[in-house]
Amino acid sequence: EDIKGNDQVKLAHELIRSDEQLNYIGFVEGSDLFGDKADVVVCDGFVGNVALKTVEGLARYIIGEVRASFAQDWIGRLIGWLLRPYWRRVEARLNPGRYNGAALIGLRGVVVKSHGNAGENEFLRAALLAFEYVQKQLALRIEQEL
């Protein structure tokens, strides 16, 4: 739907669509963020932050509901105890701190945005990601490709 969005979104849509080197599929719905429809989703910072915070909150809510459900009776507690190793793997994969640090692309340098409530380990991951981008000259390579 080429008519979606404000003027900034429409301009970005046209610029990205006009680049023949990109496999651009156009706009995607929020429900497509976790499927295999697109490898990269481009959005402005406000929309990206809303999507990210919503997903993080939903993950915490679902984890809490599942835990509360298992804790209701002895059968649930037993099943929960048996599933504990599997559940920990899922929790680890859903932990936003594991992926802390989002690169802001299109700048003349490297900027990695970290969660405001990031702890030491999460902040370290973001700093290491920024260091990796500097080592690989990401900003320069993006500028040269454009």
So what's the pLDDT on residue 18? 92
Beta pairing partners, 113: 102
Token pair listed for 108: 């003349």
So what's the pLDDT on residue 122? 84
The radius of gyration computed from the CA coordinates of the chain, to the nearest angstrom, equals 20
Per-domain boundaries in the chain: 1-42, 43-94, 97-146
pTM: 0.67
Tell me the pLDDT tens digit for each residue of 50-107.
988 898 888 889 889 999 999 999 999 999 999 999 988 988 887 777 777 778 776 7
Query: Once rounded to an integer, what is the mean pLDDT over residues 31-48?
Result: 86
Q: Write down the mean pLDDT value for the chain.
A: 85
118, 132 contact by CB (below 8 A): no
